[in-house]
Amino acid sequence: MHFLDIRCVSCSLLNHSRIHLLKMAAPVVAEGAAVLAFRSVMQRVRQAADRSGTLPESIRVVAVSKTKPVSMIRQLYDAGHRCFGENYVQEIVDKAPQLPQDIEWHFIGHLQSNKVKTLLGGVPNLAMFEGVDNQKVANNLDRMVSTLGRNPLKVLVQVNTTKSGIDPSNCVDLAKHVKSSCPNLVFSGLMTIGRPDYTSTPENFKTLSNCRTEVCKALEMPEEQCELSMGMSSDFELAIEMGSTNVRIGSTIFGPRDYSKKQE
């Protein structure tokens, strides 16, 4: 009976260890899947670029990692990717210091005035702000870049083709303001966000493309120097075929979002 008890205890310990190892392995499997998904996305980007007669290297893929852990971002970083995006100020400020400084961070979407300093001060390697949707935001960013002594910040003007941003009829004036009145910002192009379900139509993309034509004419700027940021997980291939140079892909790479701990 004594030996039987030992064997039972040993079996119990072994089973417990297996369960523990399985629990530990689960995140690794998920993160490995993200790398595989990312490689699949890059293949689809290359194919869409080929169909549109565009060089694949001219398309920037922003891996939007909102609600995802730093460990998962690090997996993609180790796989060679360097461009990541976030939508919430506190989340990007928390994540950026935990990751390598050669990451090119993009902040995407609306920014409250009282969080400009937090964003710019907390993310020294913020490479681009997507999207300036009014002069007040542009002015606040411009002043804070100067105050912090940062290098000029690239910005995209956000145009409302479906959801939020400046009206297309006013995009030229806002682009002019950034270009002429904000010396610490670099006007780099236009962006749009899809409908509430984050989908877009060819008409939405065409609207943004038309805005680029008007802006470049007004600013005497070559169109190839004016980026178009449009296209997300559900429509990035169509966006590339219609001229996008910057696609923002999240759930297709990282899996469904977890908004239980949403941060502003």
Q: pLDDT per residue over 90-126, tens digit each? A: 999 999 999 999 999 999 999 999 999 999 999 999 9
Residues 6+ apart with CB under 8 A from 241: 48, 51, 52
Mean pLDDT to the nearest integer, 184-206: 83
pLDDT top residue among 221 and 262? 221
What CATH number is attached to the domain comprising 132?
A: 3.20.20.10
Q: Give the integer Cα–Cα distance in Å for 204 and 195.
A: 10
Residue 259 falls inside a structural domain:
no
Residue 49 falls inside a structural domain:
yes
pLDDT top residue among 261 and 235? 235
- 145 by DSSP, 3-state: which? helix
User: Rounded to two decimals, what is the model's pTM?
Assistant: 0.85
User: Could you tell me the residue range of the domain that residue 157 belongs to?
Assistant: 33-249
Residue 166 falls inside a structural domain:
yes
Residue 260 falls inside a structural domain:
no
Q: Is 1 exposed, middle or buried (0-12, 13-18, 19+ CB in 10 A)?
A: exposed
Q: What is the number of structural domains in the chain?
A: 1
Residue 28 falls inside a structural domain:
no
pLDDT tens digit string along 1-18?
Answer: 343 343 333 344 334 434
Q: Give the integer Cα–Cα distance in Å for 102 and 200.
A: 32
* Strand segments (E) across 74-140: 83-86, 104-108, 126-132
pLDDT tens digit string along 231-240?
Answer: 999 999 999 9
